[in-house]
Structure 1
């Protein structure tokens, strides 16, 4: 059976050059079994024709809030209520702002206010518009209101010489997020146990200061939730993050790398361990019990000591899990460093991602992963971290299944 068989999806096509991608998105959704009802804004019709959209969807295209025939039965409410998911792609800065303020002066706006279904937005706009304070504020408010997002990604813009974050997610990336929202839950990891590390570690210098990494914990927490949803019994070992503890699992809170290693070892044995945490490589050799003060004589000398390598320790542990997965967060030589890490640390797989500041991965909502194993490299599209987590959970289930049948 197709992954989206019998699912009804309403697709709002916004007004932007990325509207051309909506044509491929319709095709990708339909080939997975979904029925797609298109709603075009007036601006969308400047970029793609209703004829092309309707032909690909094999359905009528809706656009007019005040259509006499449709509104005899309050058509915008009917459209809002008879679908399992509403996608807005492309979601322009204007459309995001309209939803935040509750405007419903066109068909798309009325549907978005009236629907009880999940809403998934795929933003697309010039990088300057995406980074504007108003758009960032609207993005955060919509997330708080329960709207899901996929993208935007980074790349060349339609405007000559423009590049940055603002490209609409590719259709396959949007489909992956749709499947994560709508696909029937499978529990292929039922009866399995998993350990996941997440977030940064804080290595104290004195009672006030510490050494840390720029990790929000979003990817690690999402992986823990995906493994739980797949049926695994999960222990999440979390460094200091601002995220709430996920339900349905054991959560161990730690501060330092040493504490994280201790919590991981205490959770053994396990079937799988996924090391997502951005562990500080170094700590101060001797923590000061008092705040270090400026003296006017220059910076104090801080002797550093190397932190334990949690991935390598568990990769070569007497109670090594059947599947050990690490992350390689790199700014240079991504695949070379990931392959080296795979061999040195006794891992079965390394998920390599570029954490250069321009990429926005650290603390961001999306991730672009290259899965490195002894068999080769598997490139994943840019995905929302929740969708990347579900994809990894499916990969883990398949890998453990092969091990179990070997």
Structure 2
């Protein structure tokens, strides 16, 4: 089974021992961040530092001339990943015998929201979410498509994994987050994630909804939630709160918007990349969900991408929604060099301090395989302790 470990360039650059250490885990591949959001990350073994603070979303290489004169453009990293940090790390990992794929975070950018507030999702109360670019806006879509192509098809990379290629909503681990005082439930999260910018207003109107009336209806639907009455259930709760027809119309607009963006970004990556380049999407099989694992229609996305990376920590059940729609890729003109099926990669957290269970990795992987997975992703080799990594090595030796 092909296994890949996630890494940041700063896990490798300046640490000559890092490539051999990662290869020694028993993985064949590294999924290396080339465009990433702001974060504060631990580096438990690096000879020069223990904490890296990435102050804003950035590309971890020098962007090219396609951005000249454009107001929306990727930000370059600061001291945490200067120059072509991605390229330097990728070269070192490849020299250790590891295949390198890019890891590209797209519609998640707080600095862009702060500097260009009109690009952000706006909720029914008029509050902007600066971390969440509205993917319905034409300029934002053009930016995300070009960023996907540039950040994915880095020199030497043989594939990519696209994260946050869809709607981002309320849920976001923000600095000193204080939004958990009221339990929203899945329905409340959906209502608080609906966007009411001008472009989304036009989209709702094309679905037969009056945007102002929809805002009022959403606010009325949320009133019991603020009193502490968490709505039970998933989509059926949204239908109860909004009415089935209204709920369906909002979902139709949002799913069409995400689907067409995903199609455009994947096509742009393929146009920029060499033959045989694999394009995977971090995905959630519940199509109205927001976040890093974009909500998708499993049948549709597996007809467009080469596969998906599915969160499986705690439960691998989401794999079952994708498994029936796996197809071979012989119909793809850029895959004439080989025949294989679309990939279902199970993403398992192996950092015990972040809720992972490296000690049960072998059993968790076997369960994921039984549900349809044919590859593993391990989050995250740079963040894990030595003890966690020792358990990963043991587990992967058993899986062999």
Which structure's relative contact order is higher, taking Cα pairs within 8 Å and 6+ residues apart? 2
TM-score if structure 1 supplies the norm length?
0.29
Rg (Cα) greater in structure: 1
Between Structure 1 and Structure 2, which shows a larger proportion of strand residues?
Answer: 1
For normalisation by structure 2, the TM-score amounts to 0.29
Of Structure 1 and Structure 2, the greater helix share is in 2
